[in-house]
């Protein structure tokens, strides 16, 4: 049976004539063609294609979560699309292995023709960072200048417009703040949880004091650490202490969103919390893989150019290495492990609350 659509030719559909003629070697234009410049261009063009796909996936998730209410059916779709981003990130990291088949001397054959272009000018990657939740004030200065000053005026305008829209961090935070079960009448969960935490810390102190293998000084050090842990836990229960951490830059998620994320993590075995927990875990995976990619990229640059400045004028390796730690977005979720307690110590959920967290059939 004939299809009601015109026939499509593979090469035309993928626009291969355009795609495969887009590798223009600057070294060849200068009359000194460098063999490895082709690899360098193909790798970076492949990166840009993957960045485009990441933006496509993140944009679709943003569209789902920007609404006043998020359709529960969309949570699974969002998780799958963000997990696709995770798999793409693994490819981005593996591509560095291909690039490293080029030796530093191979790179020097054409490096001088690239100035002042730099991967720092990848506008798509900056858009990915912005949509994921990286704030402008969080960014390290690039050679003493704001990051957007190194791109064209048209791209500067695009980046600034994107910074003004909501990010994945913003919409997920609002979604967490709407989580039910946190403040139900006659269900004082957080008081029960605080009692469980206090009992756990009291037991830990007893273990330290009765440990005959520890010296008095070692006991003192461990008891002081338990005191510090108790202080960190206080921010979970008291909004004003959490706000102090936000003002000092040690926290970013609101107190309500943090409590919601912790509740989801603690009771992730409840059926209705499976997908929310996977969503939060996937956001952490993406954040960690971006950190891994940045650090691997920094190591590759160090291997290629040593401590020379980058083609764009940055401090090269040292700048890239610093971004790996400073450009993280979801550290609040990663830090939740600080506040987990063993399942056996968790407060039992009230039967009617547990029923709402399960899958029920029939009327």
- Tokens 């003004």 appear where? 164
If phi over 0 gives left and psi between -120 and 50 gives alpha, with beta otherwise, what is residue 2? beta
* 3-state SS, residue 309: coil
The pLDDT tens digits of the residues spanning 57-95 come to 999 999 999 988 888 889 999 999 999 999 999 999 999
Pair of tokens at residue 310: 């980058």
The listed range with the strongest mean pLDDT (2-6, 150-154, 233-237, 278-282) is: 278-282
- Flag whether pLDDT at 180 surpasses 90: no
Pair of tokens at residue 311: 């083609």
Pair of tokens at residue 31: 């009359």
Instruction: Read off the pLDDT band of 183 (50, 70, 90).
Output: low
| Res 186: pLDDT | 66
Note the residue count of the chain. Answer: 363
| pLDDT average, residue stretch 38-53 | 98
Backbone angles phi, psi at 110, to 5 degrees: -135, 0
Instruction: Read off the pLDDT band of 361 (50, 70, 90).
Output: very low
Average pLDDT, the chain: 90
- Flag whether pLDDT at 360 surpasses 60: no
**What structural domains and CATH numbers belong to the chain?**
31-180+251-336+349-356 (1.20.58.480)
The pLDDT tens digits of the residues spanning 224-275 come to 999 988 888 899 999 999 999 999 999 999 999 999 999 999 999 888 899 9
| Res 279: pLDDT | 97
Could you tell me if 173 and 253 are in contact, meaning their C-beta atoms sit under 8 angstroms apart?
A: yes
Sign of CA dihedral 281, 287, 291, 296: positive
Pair of tokens at residue 171: 């919409």
Find the helix packing angle between 37-65 and 123-132, rounded to 10°.
30
pTM across the whole model: 0.90
- Tokens 């009617």 appear where? 352
Instruction: Read off the pLDDT band of 320 (50, 70, 90).
Output: confident
Could you tell me if 272 and 360 are in contact, meaning their C-beta atoms sit under 8 angstroms apart?
A: no
How many other C-beta atoms can be found within 10 angstroms of the C-beta atom of residue 148?
19
What are the strands, taking DSSP E only, across the chain? none
| Res 184: pLDDT | 63
Could you give the CA distance from residue 168 to residue 176 in angstroms, rounded to a whole number?
12
Q: Which residues of 306-338 are buried (b: 16+ CB within 10 A; e: fewer)?
A: eeeebbbbbebbebbbebbeebbbbebbeebee
Q: What is the CA radius of gyration of the chain?
A: 26
- Flag whether pLDDT at 20 surpasses 80: yes
Could you give the CA distance from residue 245 to residue 239 in angstroms, rounded to a whole number?
10
């Amino acid at each position: 049976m004939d299809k009601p659509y015109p026939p499509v030719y593979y090469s035309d559909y993928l626009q291969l004539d355009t795609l495969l003629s887009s590798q223009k070697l600057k070294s060849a234009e200068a009359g000194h063609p460098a063999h490895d410049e082709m690899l360098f261009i193909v790798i970076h063009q492949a990166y840009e294609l993957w960045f485009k796909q990441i933006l496509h996936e993140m944009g679709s998730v943003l569209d789902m979560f920007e609404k006043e209410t998020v359709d529960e059916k969309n949570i699974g779709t969002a998780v799958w699309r963000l997990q696709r981003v995770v798999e793409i990130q693994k490819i981005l990291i593996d591509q560095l292995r291909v690039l490293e088949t080029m030796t530093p001397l191979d790179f020097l054959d054409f490096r001088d023709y690239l100035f002042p272009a730099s991967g720092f000018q990848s506008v798509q990657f900056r858009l990915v960072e912005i949509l994921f939740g990286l704030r402008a004030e969080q960014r390290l200065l690039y050679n003493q200048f704001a990051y957007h000053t190194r791109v064209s005026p048209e791209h500067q305008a695009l980046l600034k417009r994107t910074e003004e829209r909501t990010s994945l961090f913003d919409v997920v935070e609002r979604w967490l703040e709407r989580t039910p079960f946190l403040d139900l009448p006659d269900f004082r969960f957080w008081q029960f949880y605080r009692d469980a935490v206090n009992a756990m810390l009291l037991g830990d102190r007893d273990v330290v004091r009765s440990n005959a293998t520890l010296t008095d000084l070692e006991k003192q050090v461990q008891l002081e650490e338990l005191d510090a842990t108790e202080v960190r836990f206080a921010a979970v229960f008291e909004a004003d202490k959490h706000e102090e951490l936000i003002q000092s830059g040690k926290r970013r998620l609101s107190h309500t969103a943090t409590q919601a994320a912790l509740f989801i993590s603690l009771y992730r075995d409840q059926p209705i919390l499976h997908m929310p927990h996977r969503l939060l875990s996937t956001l952490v995976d993406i954040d960690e893989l971006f950190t891994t990619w940045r650090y691997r990229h920094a190591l590759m640059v160090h291997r290629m150019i040593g401590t020379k400045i980058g083609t764009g004028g940055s401090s090269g390796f040292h700048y890239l290495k610093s971004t790996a730690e400073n450009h993280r977005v979801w550290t609040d979720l990663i830090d939740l492990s600080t506040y987990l307690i063993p399942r056996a110590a968790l407060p039992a959920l009230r039967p009617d609350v547990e029923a709402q967290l399960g899958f029920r059939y029939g009327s």
